[in-house]
Amino acid sequence: MSEDEHARRGIDLDKPNAARVYDYILGGQLNYAVDRMFAEQVLAAQPNARERARLNRQWLRRAVRFGLDQGIRQFLDIGSGMPTVGHVHEVAQAVDPAARVVYVDNEPIAVAHSEIVLEDNENAVMVHADAEFPDDVLDHDTTEMMLDLDQPLMVVMALFVHFIPDERDPARLIAAYRDALAPGSYLALSSATYEQQSDDTARAVAMYRKSANPVTPRSADELRALVDGFEIVDPGIVFIPEWRPDDPAEVPPDPAECGGLALVARKN
């Protein structure tokens, strides 16, 4: 892709991008040299970063299956990132091929590749929008075509809200999505945290401050405040691998090493 094409698509190659860095850490190929260089620096500072990414992806699959068990058949994945194995539509449509999924991201490479992956899937689509502007997402023609907001759905915010600093009011953002949902809808959220973390996490957070997507880790109490108006389901706000594991043996000896907290909450 030429420099002119990068510019036309809004792709900034001067700074690493969180979606592309995460793709590299997960073993994907939808990234650039600037992302790979930054990711290797993160891995040097935080050697278990790949394991953390894997654990979050496993939680995402469990959360989606939980939603399906509650009768949810439509999903809105906010800040979905790159189309990697085990994405929401693969999990949901393995249970019900008619399950509908809308992915949302503003990173041009994530959007372009998601569109390719989903080209032949009539029940899963990509919306190119900035999720910090809920009206742009919810009123988008594609969203309105795919999702019935009068019926329950699950909003997924996997490792998304920690990219929204306090000054941009993440509580207001989540409340805007909450208010648009029908009763019986769910929010699945994971976030980086400082709780019970080593200096590795502080070093990685400091590195992300130099990227296009600085990170704001949050405590369980801070996340609880962000989801006001939802009822958090069992087991509450826990370290990511502790959230309804398929097998207790899958939970590592020190769950805090995952570096993140997870929750699922219901709108009554």
pLDDT digits (tens, 9 = 90+) for 227-267: 999 999 999 999 999 999 999 998 999 999 999 999 999 99
Return the DSSP state at 29.
Answer: S
**How many domains is the chain built from?**
1
What is d(CA 214, CA 163) in angstroms, rounded to the nearest whole number?
6
CATH of the domain at 20: 3.40.50.150
Three-state DSSP state, 68: helix
pLDDT at position 11: 52
Q: Report H helices in the chain.
A: 3-8, 18-25, 33-45, 49-69, 88-95, 108-117, 134-138, 141-146, 170-180, 199-208, 220-226
Residue 234: phi, psi to the nearest 5? -60, 140
Q: Shortest CA distance to 189 belongs to which of 266, 124, 95?
A: 266
Q: Shortest CA distance to 240 belongs to which of 176, 159, 173?
A: 159
108 or 86, which is more confident? 108
Range of the domain at 123: 3-267
The 3 state secondary structure assigned to 93-150 is: HHHCCCCEEEEEECCHHHHHHHHHHCCCCCCEEEEECCCCCHHHHHCCHHHHHHCCCC
Question: Cα torsion for 252, 38, 188, 237, to the nearest 10°?
Answer: 50
Cβ–Cβ < 8 Å for 60, 33: no
pLDDT digits (tens, 9 = 90+) for 32-72: 899 899 889 888 887 888 888 889 999 999 999 999 999 99
Query: How would residue 1 be classed by pLDDT, with cut points 50, 70 and 90?
Result: very low
- Tokens in use for 146? 């795919």
The mean pLDDT value of the chain amounts to 89
pLDDT of residue 85 exceeding 70: no
238 DSSP β-pair partners: 262
pLDDT of residue 161 exceeding 90: yes
In b/e form, how buried is each residue of 53-87, taking b as 16+ CB within 10 angstroms? bbbbbbbbbbbbbbbbeeebbbbbbbbbbbbbeeb
pLDDT digits (tens, 9 = 90+) for 171-228: 999 999 999 999 999 999 999 999 998 777 777 777 777 776 788 999 999 999 999 9
pLDDT at position 171: 97
Burial tier of 151 (Cβ tally within 10 Å: 0-12, 13-18, 19+):
middle
pLDDT at position 103: 97
What is d(CA 81, CA 106) in angstroms, rounded to the nearest whole number?
9
What is d(CA 150, CA 106) in angstroms, rounded to the nearest whole number?
26
Q: Would the pTM count as exceeding 0.85? A: yes
